[in-house]
């Protein structure tokens, strides 16, 4: 197996753990917050807005749905990259072990 393929596998594993999974968590929390604000009493939202005008409820719905969909996309990419990277690295490890056995 080529060294470039191993490097890409490590980049996929590290990238999924460092970038995709935290992004998915943050977007999921933001999405749940938007949905929770949607389910809250409208008077609570108006009180939180203070003297300004409270945003319409559809904004909370849109933010919640879009954030949740973004979290699912990031999670899917992260899981896919992690699985691919681990499979490539395990295959490379098996090939290395077979090469060692063949040489002895």
Q: 């939180």: which residue's tokens? A: 48
Q: 């393929």: which residue's tokens? A: 5
User: Tens digit of pLDDT for each residue in 31-40?
Assistant: 888 888 778 7
pLDDT band at 1 (very low <50, low <70, confident <90, very high): low
CA dist., res. 102 & res. 78, Å (int): 36
* Burial category of 26 from C-beta neighbours within 10 Å (exposed 0-12, middle 13-18, buried 19 and up): middle
2 Rama class: left (phi>0) / alpha (psi -120 to 50) / beta: beta
Domain ranges of the chain: 3-103
What is the per-residue pLDDT for 3? 87
């Amino acid at each position: 197996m080529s060294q470039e393929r191993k490097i890409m596998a490590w980049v996929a594993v590290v990238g999924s753990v460092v970038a995709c999974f935290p992004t998915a968590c943050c977007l999921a929390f933001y999405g749940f917050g938007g949905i929770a604000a949607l389910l809250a009493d409208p008077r609570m939202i108006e009180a939180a807005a203070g003297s300004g005008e409270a945003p319409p409820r559809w904004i909370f719905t849109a933010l919640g749905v879009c954030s949740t969909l973004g979290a699912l996309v990031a999670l899917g990419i992260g899981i896919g990259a992690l699985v691919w990277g681990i499979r490539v690295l395990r295959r490379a490890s098996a090939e290395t072990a077979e090469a060692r056995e063949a040489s002895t």
